[in-house]
Structure 1
Amino acid sequence: MALYFDFHFHPLGKRFLEKFNDVERQSKQCTEPVALPRIGGGVDPLLGHIFRSQACVSQSVKGGIKLGVANIVVMEHVFATRQGVLNLLELEVGGKKVIVPLDNRYIDFVHNSQGSYNQLMSKELAFYQWVAGQVDLRHSINLLSRKNENGPQLQESKLNLVLAIEGGHGLSKRLISQFAGEFDPVKTVQEYRNNKSVDFLYLTLTHLSHVREQPLCSHAYGFKLVKGLPEAMPQINGLTLLGKQVVRACVDTKENKHPILIDIKHMSLVGRHDFYTYRRHLLDKRPDGFKPPKEVDGKPWWPIIATHMGITGFASGEMRDFIKKHGIERGNETSVRVKLSRKKAATLPEGIGLDKVSFNPTSVGLFDDDIEEIVRSRGLIGISLDARILGFEGVKGRLLQPEYDYFSREDFAILFPDMAQKLSIVEPVEEGTEGALEKEAAPATTESLIASRGKRELYLFCLNVLHTVAVINRMPDKERHGKDGWDYVCVGSDYDGLIDSIQAANTAELLPRFEQELQSFLPLAEKAYFKAHDDVPDLLPKAGGKAEVKRVLRKLFYDNGERFIQDWWSPIKAGAKAIPDKEIV
């Protein structure tokens, strides 16, 4: 079986949420898929299949994932608000869960400020460590660490994982949504870096909400399960001073040789720009004895990574051309809402109507200049398998539903100073009009005339990758370090991160079949991309006049990820072949 790499997923995430008590969570079923109650199984497709297991440990092993980055993510207060669709998370009948097996004690802990986010992070970290120590599981995990005496070693019969943190709020030791308690995320970072029992590859600095007790960076709007939650909207200006201190604490190697990278996913556009500027300042000025993380070719090396992304299709400086309307939403005066049009990705080579597909224009995705910044840093880009992030729209969405984005008022004024002078009041978006997790529901007579949802998603995945490669291959050879665009992309699925995964790869088990399908779709998508875009450089490499599709797909699905981990993080040794774990009855 071919090998696979995942830059960002949550193989124990849903099992962790199933039981709040640590001992109750420790069972032989912890690496198996979570079983949804009967009603939940019926409701889940209507919500985009976000509750079912997509990449638990056993699914990941069966799908051939040899190496991946497992993210610890702590439930934010916005998920515990008990509003709208979130009520389904706690629904019980006769004392039994009927939608999703999520322990209500977890929601109570967050909603009622019973402790800190860091306490929850510590619980999930301990769960990963417990699972890694078990020898009687059908499929188990191997946690890789630079701090082990013999360095990180792969084990053939296990899911080899590098740990990461999604959301800087996991560093907060203050009471959730309160201002009481220890307030020193820099100290928390230093504690993790000095702790020999844990090792993190990266920190995603922010996530899906404004965390008022520890503001590190404005976030890119992405929480669409419930409308009108102010904390889900960006509220502060870019990268804060505290955020800069956390960034430095992660990467300065003056006193510790195990840096933690910064993942730019979920950072606002202004936050990303601030981060690029601050990174250059640290590398160029070396304030207070700052020591760069590594060197390559005699120069400091600090790669920028973006781990589970979609592509907007244009440069950030062009965004104003895609803004159709902007204003202050009534009841949410801390941010600016913009109504966006989309950049056409291509016209599909099948179907006779509604055959155009577009990129997702919102700022949670990468702009062309983000891609260039990552490449100059010798970084890596993970392409998400979330259909919405890739730009998928149902028939209703393509015909009727606009795309909305939100910026903090300060960020908006920096990006669009003239537009910020005239901010009218706009009415809130009505529930259900945004299509956050819209299920494709085209009438049969219409569906027969257009490409199916599954095919459109396959094309969109290809087009997101191809556009990334096109942007890179337009760069001067020196800026891309003599490499091809295909050397900078990998898969960052975001499996089990409450995503509507694309049908061709809706679970990790389907990754081999997904790669096989792409062998025929990628050349077709390339032709469609050429027709829709001007001045496109070479994309698929050719040998003997034939596109080397299999070779670039191997780079995308495994080679680039492993190479990046080997080059940046630590040389990984192939350990002795482990004895396969016995089957559990």
Structure 2
Amino acid sequence: MDNYFDLHFHPLAKMHLASNKDDPSNKAKDDMEKPITMSKDFRDYTDESVLRRFESQCCVDYLEEGKVKLGIAAVGALEFGVASSKGFIADVLKTQLKKPIDNTYFNAVREGEVSYLKLFLKEVMRYMELRKLDKDQKSTKESKLNLISRFSKNEEELDARPNLILAIEGGHNLCMKKIGNTLDYDDFKEFQNNPYFNSIDGISKDKHNPSKVLKRLYESLKGAKIDLLYLSLTHLTYIPEQHLGTHAFGAKGLKHPSFYPFGHGLSEVGKDVVLTAYGLEDSIEKKKDTGVLIDVKNLSLKSREDLYALRRVKDCSHIPLIASNVGVTGYSLNGWKDNLEVEKCVNHVDQGIKTVKVHNKPKVAGYWGNDIKKKFTFNSCTINLMDEDIVEIAKSDGLIGVSLDVDILGHNSNSTNNESACEFLTTSDFSYYFPYTSIRKLEYASMEEIRTEESWFQPNRRDVHPLSLCFNIIHIMAVIGLKTKQNQLKKKPQKFICIGSNFDGFIEPVKFCSDSRYFGDLQACLMKWLPVAAKKYQKVNGGTKDLFSFIQKNDYLKEVVSGILYNNGHDFLKSRGFLASEKIEKKVDIES
């Protein structure tokens, strides 16, 4: 293929953390497009699996090398829980060696010196610095990247450099309060000389209202010809100064009380943010209901159900949903409930935070191998999609980005392994989904057990087989093909799928595509293993014979793979008005 698409990555995130000192002589500020550097001493000191998390990059140079021509750059301020956590990041920051990241950012977050909104704007400024414009606001030869938007009619072809649209990762980025403080608001005087962001300081009367902050932010970015594709309402932690909704537990590499979920679905403030995002005008044509999309990633199961209910009540179901970097549970909601392993569930109180530790039997995706058959299972934790989520996204004509994080995709093991998946639910969510299981009758986790859990927060290297990724893709296709009425869809099941790598998000990447330079290897994996996954999946899970017709038709397989790796994302952005010109991009075929 000539080019690739990625629905969710962080091209500047790690270098932004590495160069956060205010010292203007800091050379790293002039090399934002490059990968972070790690000294030999640091490499020798650090665990291999930690190094893999640092090396899973998608910096601008890597995007160019890997021909990732089009993608969504997620921007999100580092949360207090992450900066203050135990785990691999904390261990790195404690070392006395020359580290790839700088303490300045982390200290500012831990000490509550700054707001999440200010941190968000500072990272956006990094993108503006790399997108150099002339007096007519056209990209110059010195530009390292191209930011495309719906706010100007671009009649040129996509730039040879990476073409990016921004997204907001986490509603906490709309918070003007200083981190960890419910009363003290940040000031934005340092942006007063910026023609685009000087209005941010003028919303003091709206400080308590994230919906109005979103609207003002959107208008400011519009003036800078910067666009937003989607907003993730929650991220990894509970944000007490601005609670928009319950998040799904998804941080087994870090430990802090805020990682445990809190609440019971979307808050009223969160619902207002959703409706505000949907009501923003998208372009010079002033069309409504097409502004900023909502990403369901990191929302708890109850929060996602609340979102779908709100969309139906407010007649917003036609607006596309995004699932930016996900895997699948393999279950319908009832199937997930039926496979709860009640005898393993316990009440869990850690540092005063009460949750229920839930164990669920993973769904088998398929078996593969001759002498020793390996069982492949999906990751049944609720940070991943239920079948109902997949149907909702497809009916909305949305887009699903399949993650390249091994913690998301599921596992492969000997078929005798019956290990269950565990996560944490709020007590209210547990009672809601399992009303006939008394929380009072569940035992309490002992302090010894809670201390033992800290072993989770030590990264473990796992080489996930390419079939694990392919089984996730196949299940999405199967659910859309079998559980959605075809007259409700505008396109074939495979057209709703792309890659959402989450590179530079401190993930444990799949071995066969460890950073953005290796999308070509990912292409080869899909061509080889997608038909195998389809056959093995059907043996266990059934399905009609014509469900995966690409198994027998090589040309059709090429079309499916080219769609997943580029065309589906390109076509989605074109349908949203980001790629207005027919000259922008031609469909590409995979070479035989």
**Shorter-chain-normalised TM-score: which range?**
0.7 to 0.9
Q: 1:10-89, aligned counterparts within 5 Å? A: 10-21=10-21, 23=24, 24=26, 27-42=29-44, 43-47=46-50, 49-89=52-92
Q: Name the structure 2 match of 1:438.
A: 460
In the aligned structure 2, how far is the partner of 1:520 from the partner of 1:168? 39
Q: Which residue matches 1:403?
A: 421
Alpha-carbon spacing, 1:116–1:27, altered in 2? closer, same or farther (3 Å):
closer
CA gap 1:394/1:438 in 2 versus in 1, 3 angstroms: farther
User: In structure 2, what is the Cα distance between the partners aligned to 1:256 and 1:21?
Assistant: 41
Give the counterpart letter for 2:35 in structure 1. P
Contact preservation (8 Å) 2:478, 2:543:
no
**Are 2:274 and 1:252 equivalent residues in the alignment?**
no
Structure 1 pair 109/398, CA: closer, same or farther in 2 (3 Å)? Answer: farther
Normalised to the residue count of structure 1, the TM-score between the two structures is: 0.86
- Alignment RMSD (CA, Å): 2.7
Match of 2:261 in 1: 234
Equivalent residue number for residue 482 of structure 2: 474
For the pair 1:346 / 2:349, whether they are aligned, the reply is no
Q: How many residue pairs end up in the alignment?
A: 540
Q: Give the drift of 1:569.
A: 3.9
- 1:365 maps to 384
Q: Give the corresponding residue for 1:447.
A: none
SS in 2 for 1:70: strand
Distance in 2 of aligned mates of 1:368 and 1:400: 23
Find the partner of 1:311 among 323, 328, 331.
328
**Secondary structure in 2 matching 1:202:** strand
Match among 411, 428, 435 for residue 417 of structure 1: 435
Provide the residue aligned with 2:339 in structure 1: 322
- Cα distance in structure 1, aligned partners of 2:534 and 2:27: 47
Identity across matched positions, percent? 29
Unpaired runs of 5+ residues, structure 2, are 134-138, 186-206, 586-592
Say if 2:229 is the partner of 1:201: yes
- CA shift at 1:304, angstroms? 1.1
Bigger mean CA deviation after superposition, 458-467 or 471-480: 471-480
Work out the CA distance in 1 between the residues paired with 2:457 and 2:410: 12
User: How much does 1:40 deviate?
Assistant: 3.3
Give the aligned partner of residue 150 of structure 2.
Answer: 146
Q: Does 1:484 align with 2:492?
A: yes
DSSP-derived class of the 1:192 partner: helix
Counterpart of 1:301? 318
Query: Counterpart in 2 of 1:296?
Result: none
Q: What is the rounded CA distance, in whole Å, between the counterparts of 2:358 and 2:537 in structure 1?
A: 27
1:70 and 1:76 mapped to 2: Cα distance? 18
1:212 aligned residue (236, 240, 247) = 240
Cα distance, 1:333–1:111 mapped onto 2, change above 3 Å: closer
Q: Describe the superposition over 1:426-475 as per-residue Cα deviations: whole angstroms up to 9, x where unpaired.
A: 234414544773214xxxxxxxxxxxx3xx52001111000100001103
1:119 is aligned to 118
The CA deviation at 1:209 is 0.5
Contact 1:193 1:256 survives alignment (8 Å): no
> CA offset at residue 88 of structure 1?
2.2
| CA distance in 1: counterparts of 2:431 and 2:217, whole angstroms | 37
Superposed CA deviations along residues 512-542 of structure 1, whole A, max 9, x for unmatched, are 1220232121111111111111235633335
Amino acid at match of 2:11: P
- Conservation of the 8 A alpha-carbon contact between 2:280 and 2:292: no
Deviation of the 1:29 alpha carbon: 2.0
5+ unaligned residues in a row in structure 1: which ranges? 284-291, 293-299, 441-452, 578-585
Deviation at 1:343, TM superposition (A): 0.6
How far apart, CA to CA, are the structure 2 residues paired with 1:152 and 1:266?
A: 36
